[in-house]
Amino acid sequence: MQIANSNLTLFDYITNSNKADSALQDAAVRQKFDVASDIRNLQQDIISGDIDTTLTQLQSGESSLNLQTLDNMLNFNLLSVGKDLQQVVRDLGISKEIEIKQINGQWQVQQTSQDKPLNQLQSYLERNDKLQKQLDTMNKLSELVELGASQQYAKQLQKADISEPDVVTYLTQAREYLFSIDSFSLSSKHLSLGSRGEAENFFAEVKQTLGLSDDNK
């Protein structure tokens, strides 16, 4: 996003630096307001499930945010939520890695047999509405970042003269795959998203199928 025009010339800045500094300060405040507004819009899109609107705005430059900003937001949230969940896992004496999946709109601990500590962790998840929403937000944010990455990879296919129908098929299948993961991996040492980095992995498989080399970038 460009800082709004302050209507000052270089001569204005040299002869009246106070006026120029004030104008630049005002522009910076407006830019911060735009970022804050775009973050609120992003949060609303995530709640409504309309991440395509955000992605379109990112690609067109209408939004002051970008995929790197979203990735940074995701890292920040993972660090904060992960710290709390890792402590819960340690307190419950759980030593193995756990998968948490979204089932029927709720995040649930996956287990093959009844295990008291895992049941207690599940009860913790069920009682904590705020945590459920945080996991949901991070999952959708990751999907948005990975979908954006997939669209960047699609440009490589176009440069490699892959037909438009095949590029569309790639994007459709990538979207379906990324949106189907809906999982976290949790242990006493980490919390990670199942969809994180999967756009790259999926594209690598597509390139192999199409016989494309790493030179096709």
> What three-state secondary structure class fits 112?
coil
User: Residue 76 domain-assigned?
Assistant: no
Residue 4 pLDDT level (bands cut at 50, 70, 90): very low
55 and 121 both lie in a single domain:
no
User: Residue 172 domain-assigned?
Assistant: yes
Residue 29 pLDDT level (bands cut at 50, 70, 90): very low
187 and 119 both lie in a single domain:
yes
187 and 93 both lie in a single domain:
yes
89 and 58 both lie in a single domain:
no
Range of the domain at 160: 84-217
130 token code pair: 């705020």
> What three-state secondary structure class fits 8?
coil
Of all residues in the chain, the percent with pLDDT exceeding 90 is 50
User: Residue 128 domain-assigned?
Assistant: yes
Is residue 81 a contact partner of residue 21, using CB atoms and an 8 Å limit?
A: no
96 and 197 both lie in a single domain:
yes
N-term to C-term CA, the chain = 26
pLDDT of residue 214: 72
Q: Taking 80 as the threshold, does the pLDDT of residue 104 lie above it?
A: yes
User: Residue 73 domain-assigned?
Assistant: no
Q: Taking 70 as the threshold, does the pLDDT of residue 60 lie above it?
A: no
18 token code pair: 């106070």
> How far, in Å, CA of 189 to CA of 169, rounded?
38
171-188 confidence digits (pLDDT tens): 999 999 999 999 999 999
User: Residue 57 domain-assigned?
Assistant: yes
* The one-letter amino acid at 27: A
pLDDT of residue 12: 37
Give the residue ranges of DSSP H helices in the chain. 10-15, 17-48, 51-60, 67-91, 116-127, 129-159, 164-181, 198-210
pLDDT of residue 68: 84
* The one-letter amino acid at 119: N
- Cβ atoms < 10 Å from Cβ of 86: 16
154 token code pair: 């699609």
* The one-letter amino acid at 74: L
pLDDT of residue 123: 96
Predicted model pTM: 0.75
* Lowest mean pLDDT across 5-14, 74-83, 131-140: 5-14
> How far, in Å, CA of 92 to CA of 116, rounded?
9
